[in-house]
Chains A and B, each alone.
Chain A
C-alpha cells in the first residue's frame, strides 16, 4: 500500500515538473535588469555607427518631446495654482538625461550599454512624472491635459526628426549597397536617387524585386542565405551587447545618479534643485530595481510625496 502511494507521489511530481522541463527559456536569476524585446531589437542596428547614431538621436528626440510636454503641463498647472516643484524636479533631471544622451559617442564600444541605461532612465522619469500627475489630479483633468499635449509641436523634436530621417536614409542606403554587392549588381544610381529623395524606398524595392525575380533559383537562394546569415550575426551581436548591458547595471545606475546629484549640487540653490537632489538621494538609498523598457512596469523609488506636490488649495479641478 505504501509503495503504491509512493509511486503516485513520484508520478504527480513528474507531471508537475514536465512543463518546467520543457519551458523554452529559463529566466536568469542573476540578471540585474530585464531588457525588453523592443530594446533588444533596437540595439540590433547599433553595431553600425550610423545605426548607433540613429538610436541615440531617436532617444534624444523622445526625451525632448517629453520635456516640452512636461513643461506645458507644468505651466498649465501653475496657472491653476498647483505646487509643481516635484514635477519640475523630474523635468530638471530629464534635462540632465538629455545632455547625457547628447554626450554619448555613437562610435564608442559601450554605446549599446549606455543607450540601454539611458533609455531605462527616460522610461522611469516619464513614469514618475505620470504617477506624480495621477496623485495630483483627477482622471478628467488628466484627460484634458492629455488632449492639450497630444498634438504639441516641438521645434527641437522636428529638427531632430529631419536629422533622424537623413540618418535612416543613409543607413538604408548602406544596407542596400551591401545587398547590391551580394547580388553582384551596381545600384549606385538608384541608391543616390533614394538618398536625395528622387526615389522612394518602395520604388527602390520594386527595382530590386524585378532583379531578384529574373535570377536563377540558385542565385536567389544564395542571396537569401547571405541575408539570413547577416541577420543572425546581427542578432547574436545584439544579444552579446544586451548581456553586457545587464552586467553591472545597478552599479552604473548608481554612478549616474551620483553624477547628477553632484551636478545639481553645483547649481544655485532653489526649491526645484533641492527637490531633484532629494529624489536622487531617495533612489540612491532605495537601490532602485526597476526593469527597463516598454511600459516602465517598475517605477523608481523616488516617491512623489514629500508634501511638495500636494494641491495648494486652488481647487480648480
Chain B
C-alpha cells in the first residue's frame, strides 16, 4: 500500500515539475524569439506601415438581419 502511495506522490511531483518546466521553457522561447526579430528589415517596416493605414473597404460589422 505504501509503495502505491509513494508511486502516486512521485507521479504527481513529476507532473507538477513538468508543468512548471514547460511553462518556464515556453516563456524563455518567446523571449528568445522576440530577441531575434529582424527589426530592421524593409519588410518589417512595411508591415508596420500596413498596420497603420486603413483598408478603403473596411467596415463596422453589426451582423446580418436575415
CA distance A4 to B8 in the complex (A): 10
Contact B5 A59 (CB under 8 A): no
Q: Does A168 contact B (CB under 8 A)?
A: yes
B66–A208 touching, CB < 8 Å: no
Q: Are A122 and B53 in contact (CB under 8 A)?
A: no
**Cβ-neighbour of B60 out of A119, A171, A179 (below 8 A):** A119
Most chain A CB inside 10 Å of its own CB: which residue of B5, B19, B48: B48
Q: Is A193 an interface residue (CB 8 A)?
A: no
Contact yes or no, B65 A175, CB < 8 A:
no
Seen from chain B, the residues whose Cβ lies within 8 Å of a Cβ on chain A are 2, 5-6, 8-9, 12-13, 15-16, 19-20, 23, 39-42, 44-46, 48-56, 58-66
Confirm or deny: A146 has a beta carbon within 8 angstroms of a beta carbon on chain B.
yes
Tell me if B's interface is mostly helix, strand, loop or mixed.
helix
Chain A hits for B52, CB < 8 A: 175, 179, 227, 230-231
Q: A4-B6, A145-B66 are in contact. List 8 more A-B contacts (CB 8 A).
A: A14-B12, A15-B19, A22-B23, A42-B60, A63-B62, A70-B65, A179-B49, A223-B45
Residue contact A58 to B60, C-beta cutoff 8 Å: yes
* A 72-89 binary contact with B (CB < 8 Å = 1; else 0): 010000000000000000
Partner of B39, one of A62, A164, A224: A224
Contact yes or no, A8 B66, CB < 8 A? no
Whether the Cβ atoms of A213 and B42 lie closer than 8 Å is: yes
Given B23, B51, B65, which contacts A66 in the complex, CB threshold below 8 Å? Answer: B65
Q: Mark A209-225, 1 if CB is under 8 A from B, else 0.
A: 10011000110110111
> Are A231 and B54 in contact, with the CB atoms below 8 A?
no
Interchain CA distance A164-B58 in the complex, whole Å: 9
CB-nearest residue of chain B to A142: B66
A18 to B15, CA, bound (A): 11
CB of B56 within 8 A of CB of A168, answer yes
Question: Is B39's CB under 8 angstroms from A221's CB?
Answer: yes
Instruction: List CB contacts (< 8 Å) of A170-211 with chain B.
Output: 171-172, 175-176, 179, 201, 205, 208-209
For A279, list chain B residues within 8 Å (CB). Answer: none
Chain B CB within 8 A of A256 CB: no
Cα(A119)–Cα(B6), bound, Å: 58
Q: Are B63 and A8 in contact (CB under 8 A)?
A: no
Query: Taking the nearest CB of chain A, how far is it from the CB of B59, in angstroms?
Result: 5
A97 smallest CB distance to B (angstroms): 10
- Residue pair B49, A208 in contact (C-beta under 8 Å): yes
Q: Are B40 and A175 closer than 8 Å at their CB atoms?
A: no
Residues of B contacting A145 in the complex (Cβ-Cβ under 8 angstroms): 66
> B54 → chain A, closest Cβ, in Å?
5
Of residues B41, B44, B52, B62, which shows the largest number of chain A Cβ atoms within 10 Å of its Cβ? B62
